[in-house]
Amino acid sequence: MSSAGYHRLLDPSEPLKLAYLTYRGKPHVGGQGVYTRHLTKALADLGHTIEVLGGQPYPVLDERVPLTKLPSLDTFNDHYPGRVPGFWEIKNRDDLLEMAQYLTGVFPEPMAFSSRAKRNLLPRATEFDLVHDNQCLGYGILKIEEQIPTIVTLHHPITKDRKLEMEHAKNRYKRWSVGRWYSFVKMQGNVASKLPRIVVVSQNSIDDIHTDMGVSKDRMRLVPVGVDPDLFKPLDHVQRRPEHLITTASADVALKGLSYLLEAMAKLRTERDVTLTIIGKPRPGHSMDLIDSLGLKPHIEFVSGVTDERIVELYSEAELAVVPSLYEGFSLPAIEAMCSGTPLVATDGGALPEVTGTDGETVFGCKAGDVGSLVDALKRGLDNPEARARIGAAGRQRVLDRWTWRLCAEQTVEQYREVLAMPDNIAKLKRNGRIK
C-alpha cells in the first residue's frame, strides 16, 4: 500500500477497538454462543478491546469482554417457545417491528436486532474502529456500515435450512408456513451482497453462499473456526462405556439429521446394546416422537446446561461421536469430538468432508440422509477397537494441525485490517476521529 493510504490501524502491533454483534448467543450452539465466546476471548488474548452487543439468549463471555444487552421480546426462549408478548412489553418501534413480523409468521430477530444495534452504535461511532456482525445481516447492518467499517461472519447460507425444512414438511400448509418463516433469508442475501467483506468458515460454504445468495466470491474470505486443544483433549482417567455413542442436537431441525441417527440406533439395537447421549434439551417435536415410537427412551440420555469440562468428559465416555447432519457449514461438534480423541462417525453433508478428512483415516464416513450407510459406519467403528484408536488419534492430530481459536483470531484480525485499508473505510475512520 502507498504511504498515502497507510494509517496506524494497519500496523499489526496496533490494538483495535471492536464492536461484536450477535443477535443470538446461546452458549452451547456452535455458530452462536460458542463462536462468540471463544473468538472474542482469543481476540482479547491478542490485545484487542471488544464489546459484545447481544440479544437473548445472551452469550457467556470472558471476563475481559463486556456485554451490552439489546433485549428482544424473547418469543423463542427455552421455557416458553412461541409465546405471545403482552402489549405492555412493546416499548419502542423496534419491539413493534419484531411483534409485527412474529405475528405474521416471519422469524423476526435478525431484522429487529439489526435495528436495535444501529440505534445503539451510530451515536457511538467515534468509539469503534470496526464492527463485526455474526450472521445477523439485517438491514440495520447496512446503516451501521455506512458510518463504521463493518465485517460479517456467515457460517452457512440459511437457504440450506429452508430447503431441508421444506422437503420435510408434511403438507401444503406446513410448506407455506416454512416459506413464510424463512422469508428473512432474502434480506440476508441482499445485505450480504452489499457488504465489502464476508468471513466464511469453509470453502463449501463459500461456494454455497455464492450460488444460493448471490454474494460475489471476491468479497468472501475463508477463516475456519477453532477449538481449545487444552480443554478438548483425551482424558485417560475416564473409562469409555462399551457400545456408547454421543451426538449434539442444538435444535430439532431437519438439517441436523438426528432422526437418521435414531433410526440407525434402533436397527443396531436389534443385535447389540447401543446407548446414546444427546448434548441438548429434549423438546417436543419429531425427534421425541421418534424416540417414543422406536422404543429408544430408556437407552437415550439428554444432557444440557453443563460446563465445557463436563462435555469433554462425556466425549471421553463414548466409543464413537456422531455427526449425522444433512448439511453443515463447518461443525464445531465434529472438531471438538476429534480434538477430544473420540473417533468420529460423520456424514458427507455440506462441509463435513472438508472438516473431518478421509474415510478410514480420520473419520468413519457415511452418506448424508442414508440410514443404511450410517449403520454400516457405526458398525465399522464399534466392531474394530484398533481402528477406533487409530482414527481417534489421527482425528485429534488433524484438528491440532489446522484449527485453534488463536489461529482463527489471528486470521480474523488480518481481515479486519484489510477492511480498514479500504479507501471508503479510511474516510469513515477519519470522519469518526479514529485516525488523522
Shared domain for 377 and 426, answered yes or no, is: no
Is position 238 within any domain?
Answer: no
Are the C-beta atoms of 407 and 226 separated by less than 8 Å? yes
Residue 220 placed within a domain: yes
143-175 pLDDT, tens per residue? 999 999 999 999 999 999 899 899 888 899 999
Instruction: Indicate whether 336 and 302 sit together in one domain.
Output: yes
Tens digits of per-residue pLDDT, 63-122? 999 999 999 999 988 788 888 999 899 999 999 999 999 999 999 999 999 999 999 999
Look at strands 17-22 and 130-134 and give their pairing.
parallel
* Numbers of helices and strands, H then E, in the chain: 17, 13
Structural domain count of the chain? 2
Are 264 and 357 within one domain? yes
Instruction: Flag whether 234 is in a domain.
Output: no
pLDDT tens profile 215-263: 999 999 999 999 999 999 999 999 999 999 999 987 777 789 999 999 9
Residues 370 and 421 in one domain: no
Are 277 and 218 members of one domain?
Answer: no
Question: Residue 1 above 50 pLDDT?
Answer: no
- My answer on whether 393 and 422 are in the same domain is no
Residue 51 pairs with which residues in a beta bridge? 19
Q: What is the pLDDT of residue 3?
A: 53
Rounded to 5 degrees, φ, ψ at 320 are -140, 140
Residue 324 lies in a domain: yes
Q: What own/partner pairs with CB < 8 Å and gap ≥ 24 does 385-391 have?
A: 387/343, 387/360, 388/319, 388/320, 388/343, 389/343, 391/343, 391/344, 391/360, 391/361, 391/362, 391/363, 391/364
Do residues 208 and 347 share a domain?
Answer: no
CATH number at residue 133: 3.40.50.2000
Domain that holds residue 252: 244-402
For the segment 369-396, what is each residue's pLDDT rounded down to a tens digit? 999 999 999 999 999 999 999 999 999 9
Q: Enumerate the β-bridge partners of residue 366.
A: 347
Mean pLDDT of 339-343: 98
Q: What is the pTM of this model?
A: 0.90
Determine which helix (DSSP H) or strand (DSSP E) holds 365, and give its type and residue range: strand 364-366
Q: Are 371 and 424 in a shared domain?
A: no
| Interatomic CA distance for residues 190 and 352, integer angstroms | 27
Residues 216 and 283 in one domain: no
3-class secondary-structure state, position 222: strand
57 and 100 belong to one structural domain: yes
Q: Are residues 76 and 219 in the same domain?
A: yes
In a domain, 235, yes or no: no
Report if residue 231 sits inside a domain: no
Q: Are residues 180 and 101 in the same domain?
A: yes
